[in-house]
């Protein structure tokens, strides 16, 4: 039987086993109790409380403004709703870069106040000390390389990363470093499929792609994007499994009509 089916609780160890057995890892974001419960019931392997909450939940243009308190508030109900999936929480911008002691206390707050199972940090060599210190406290760390949205003002654009040799080489070095440090997995965002395949076959830890092609160990999407709750965002890598925005607008329009025409509530819908 596949590792995926027989496991009642996904751990970082299970994810390594899945890579060994070439079973793909399915990961999605969630930011609230109701959605997390559905996603977990459907059998997702990893739930990411992503700092994409800054965009899809709070309506900000970038992920930079979300705070540690906000991330903790999003993560706590997600953990409460989850029985099977591994829950990973993004460390927000400004809580881990530059000072590894601050990084550790931010990660400890996430683990203690949410009950999550791991944290995710964007970057390689430049955040080495923070990763080391967090790992030394026994907190599992997921890396994130390629397009790292917290550095949007450095890149200036969200276009595909690491197309040039220099940047591709740096990404491979960073992936190797993350593995050496002890990260349990790496997210690769928006990089050429060929490069992602190379990284996934070089490192032994699972590599989860978003816009990184099929030859990695798993895929992640933002839940609101794949359900079609967001309307404007449509990069090439995004597959929409539903068009919930038009379903919701249609339902609300019907409700408004029913209220205004006195169709709702009817005789059976009252006491």
Nearer to ligand KIV, 183 or 210 (CB): 210
Task: Please tell me whether residue 147 adopts helix, strand or coil conformation.
Answer: coil
Q: Which of 210, 212, 216, 227 binds ligand KIV (CB under 6 A)?
A: 210
* Shorter beta-carbon distance to ligand KIV: residue 33 or 158: 158
d(CA 141, CA 71): 16
Nearer to ligand KIV, 51 or 179 (CB): 51
Using CB under 6 A, pick the residue from 12, 52, 100, 150 that binds ligand KIV: 52
Closest CA to 90 of 73, 68, 105, 112: 68
Pick one of 31, 45, 47, 50: the residue that binds ligand KIV (CB under 6 A): 50
Between 233 and 255, name the residue whose CB sits nearer to ligand KIV.
Answer: 233
Shortest CB 46 distance to ligand KIV, Å: 10
Taking the CB of residue 117, how many other CB atoms lie within 10 A of it?
Answer: 22
Q: Which of 141, 186, 187, 196 binds ligand KIV (CB under 6 A)?
A: 187
Q: Does 51 bind ligand KIV (CB under 6 A)?
A: yes
179: contact with ligand KIV by CB under 6 A: no
Contact by Cβ (8 Å): 68, 104: no
β-pair type (46-49, 185-189):
unpaired
The backbone region for 183, taken as left when phi is positive above 0, alpha when psi lies in -120 to 50, beta otherwise, is: beta
Tokens of 269: 């819908």
Q: Name the active-site residue from 23, 122, 179, 189.
A: 189
Residue 261 CB neighbour total at 10 angstroms: 8
CA 15 to chain centre: 15
Q: Which residue in the shown chain puts its C-beta closest to ligand KIV?
A: 50
Question: Does residue number 29 form part of the binding site for ligand KIV (CB under 6 A)?
Answer: yes
Q: For Cα atoms 116, 118, 120, give the angle at the middle one, nearest 5 degrees.
A: 120
126 is catalytic: no
Choose one: 50-58, 69-77, 79-87, 196-204; the region binding ligand KIV (CB under 6 A). 50-58
Question: Which range touches ligand KIV (CB under 6 A), out of 49-57, 73-81, 111-119, 163-171?
Answer: 49-57
Closest by Cα among 239, 212, 247, 207 to 223: 239
Cα 236 off chain centre by: 18
Q: Does 90 bind ligand KIV (CB under 6 A)?
A: yes
Q: Does 219 bind ligand KIV (CB under 6 A)?
A: no
* Tokens matching residue 165: 């040799």
CB half-sphere exposure, 43, CA atoms < 13 A: 7
Q: Which is nearer to ligand KIV, 139 or 186 (CB)?
A: 186
Question: Residue 119, interface with ligand KIV (CB under 6 A)?
Answer: no
In the complex with ligand KIV, the residue whose CB is nearer, 5 or 18, is 18
Q: Annotated catalytic sites, by residue?
A: 189
Binding region for ligand KIV (CB under 6 A): 29, 48, 50-52, 90, 187, 189, 210, 220, 222
């Amino acid at each position: 039987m596949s590792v995926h089916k027989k496991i009642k609780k996904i751990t970082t160890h299970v994810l390594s086993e899945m890579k060994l057995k070439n079973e793909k890892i399915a990961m999605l974001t969630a930011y609230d109790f109701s959605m997390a419960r559905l996603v977990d019931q459907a059998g997702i392997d990893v739930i990411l409380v992503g700092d994409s909450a800054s965009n899809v939940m709070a309506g900000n243009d970038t992920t930079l403004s979300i705070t540690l308190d906000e991330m903790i508030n999003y993560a706590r109900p997600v953990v409460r709703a989850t029985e099977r999936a591994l829950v990973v929480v993004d460390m927000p911008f400004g809580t881990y870069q530059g000072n590894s002691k601050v990084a550790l206390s931010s990660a400890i707050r996430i683990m203690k106040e949410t009950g999550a199972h791991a944290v995710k940090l964007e970057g390689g060599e430049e955040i080495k000390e923070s990763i080391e210190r967090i790992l030394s406290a026994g907190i599992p760390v997921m890396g994130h390389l390629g397009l790292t949205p917290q550095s949007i003002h450095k890149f200036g654009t969200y276009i595909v990363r690491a197309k040039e040799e220099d940047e591709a080489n740096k990404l491979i070095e960073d992936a190797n470093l993350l593995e050496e440090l002890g990260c349990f997995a790496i997210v690769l965002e928006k990089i050429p499929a060929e490069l992602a395949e190379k990284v996934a076959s070089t490192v032994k830890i699972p590599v989860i792609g978003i816009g990184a092609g099929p030859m990695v160990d798993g895929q992640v999407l933002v839940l609101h994007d794949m359900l079609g709750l967001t309307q404007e965002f449509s990069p090439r890598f995004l597959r929409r499994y539903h068009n919930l925005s038009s379903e919701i607008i249609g339902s609300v329009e019907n409700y408004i009509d029913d209220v205004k025409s006195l169709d709702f509530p009817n005789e059976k819908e009252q006491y």
